[in-house]
């Protein structure tokens, strides 16, 4: 996705596409590692001399509010961020602490007792041991 397309996307979501905002979105798009604010800040800072951590925080807040990004609370030590896509869940490995994306289909839970509630956020979190760590354990 080119910077121009990202700017258009931000506009469609009522976000003024300032240069740092476009760069932060681009970073999330190209780095599907569920980065923390610090990771985003440290990577972009050398190219964005005027960038502050507050700008990164505020921009991510704005993306989350406008359905462009997900705030992940799967890692109790760090808030992580991710691009929002449909049918995309997260698996956190308790050994290497990596958060993996996975796609799923036929995820259809009936929330019987929440009939009269309005659900605003729905995320699928799984935890366990990833395939790489499982291999290591067998050695
Ligand atoms: Zn692992
Ligand atoms: Zn993800």
Looking at residue 34, what is its pLDDT? 93
Q: What separation in Å is there between the alpha carbon of 92 and the centre of ligand 2?
A: 10
Looking at residue 60, what is its pLDDT? 97
- Least Cα distance to 41 among 68, 59, 66 occurs for 59
Q: What separation in Å is there between the alpha carbon of 100 and the centre of ligand 1?
A: 9
Residue 69: partners with Cβ closer than 8 Å, 6 or more residues away: 28, 60, 63, 81, 82, 83, 84
Looking at residue 120, what is its pLDDT? 77
Looking at residue 81, what is its pLDDT? 95
> What does pLDDT average to in each consecutive run of 10 residues of the chain (139 residues)?
94 96 96 94 96 97 94 86 86 92 81 86 90 91
Residue 55 · residue 18 · CB < 8 Å = no
Looking at residue 90, what is its pLDDT? 93
Could you tell me where the DSSP H helices lie in 14-122?
Answer: 19-30, 37-44, 53-65
Strands 88-93 and 99-103 come out as antiparallel
Q: Which ligand is nearest to the CA of 131?
A: 1
Strand partners, 93: 128
Q: What is the pTM of this model?
A: 0.84
Residue 97: partners with Cβ closer than 8 Å, 6 or more residues away: 75
Q: What separation in Å is there between the alpha carbon of 60 and the centre of ligand 2?
A: 15
Q: What separation in Å is there between the alpha carbon of 127 and the centre of ligand 1?
A: 10
Looking at residue 8, what is its pLDDT? 97
**Integer Cα distance of 34 and 128 in angstroms:** 17
Q: What separation in Å is there between the alpha carbon of 99 and the centre of ligand 1?
A: 9
Looking at residue 112, what is its pLDDT? 85
């Amino acid at each position: 996705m080119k910077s121009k397309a990202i700017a258009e996307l931000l506009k469609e979501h009522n976000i003024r596409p300032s240069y740092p905002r476009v760069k932060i979105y681009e970073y999330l798009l190209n780095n599907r590692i569920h980065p923390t604010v610090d990771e985003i800040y440290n990577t972009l800072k050398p190219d964005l001399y005027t960038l502050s951590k507050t700008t990164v925080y505020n921009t991510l807040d704005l993306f989350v509010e406008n359905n462009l990004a997900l705030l992940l609370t799967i890692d109790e030590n760090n808030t992580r961020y991710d691009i929002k896509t449909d049918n995309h869940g997260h698996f956190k490995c308790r050994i290497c602490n990596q958060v993996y994306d996975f796609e799923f289909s036929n995820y259809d839970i009936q929330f019987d007792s929440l009939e009269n509630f309005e659900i605003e956020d729905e995320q699928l979190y799984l935890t366990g041991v990833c395939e790489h760590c499982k291999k290591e354990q067998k050695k």
